[in-house]
Amino acid sequence: MNVNSEAGNLAGTTDHFGRYQSLWGSFEANDPVSARRTGMKRYHLEVFPPGTNAIERRELRRFRQWRVWGALIALALDFVVASTWRGWQVPVLIAVVYLVGLALGLQLTKRVRRAIRNVYVATIRVGGSTVVEGDIVELESCLSELETLDRDRSVAAIGPVEYEAAWTRIYARLAPVA
């Protein structure tokens, strides 16, 4: 991803729409078709707390996907259970299964979800000029540093300790305003 700045625009991100995931978190930009149709480009940088391990990232990903998977499981349960049971117990059972999965996901991901740092930016075309909502300079700076960090790690230019230290500095810079 190239993040050279243009007036209120993250250059090159339209070439890499979707999600870019790493150990440190993810970057997401809406697709170019949606951006042209609505006149708004949305960018979201999410930085996990340093030390987030593979298990925590996997649990977070599963929790975020539970809305879709939980609904599909509920639908499958409806077909299976409703063919043998009748009455009010069927929807209650389905709701309980969905809510238990949701509660489990909430509990397993509580620490990571509370500690995630986010940067949101939107650029909106209004009458020929671009309006920027959010800190585009901070987003570009952090994203550039994080990409460099990933590139250096992939070619073994830095070790795990240096990687985590740089990740920690960027994470600390994104401290929420009290």
67-99 tens-digit pLDDT: 898 888 888 887 887 777 777 777 888 888 889
Chain mean position to CA 96? 27
Assigned domain for 67 exists: yes
- Total of domains in the chain: 2
Q: Is 156 left (phi over 0), alpha (psi -120 to 50) or beta?
A: left
Assigned domain for 18 exists: yes
Residues 61 and 108 grouped into a single domain:
yes
Range of the domain at 93: 55-112
Q: Is 60 left (phi over 0), alpha (psi -120 to 50) or beta?
A: alpha
Residue 36 CA to residue 51 CA, distance in Å, equals: 38
* Residue percentage of the chain with pLDDT more than 90: 55
Assigned domain for 166 exists: yes
pTM here? 0.77
Residues 42 and 73 grouped into a single domain:
no
Residues 87 and 124 grouped into a single domain:
no
Residues 127 and 159 grouped into a single domain:
yes
**Per the structure block, which two tokens stand in for 76?**
């499958």
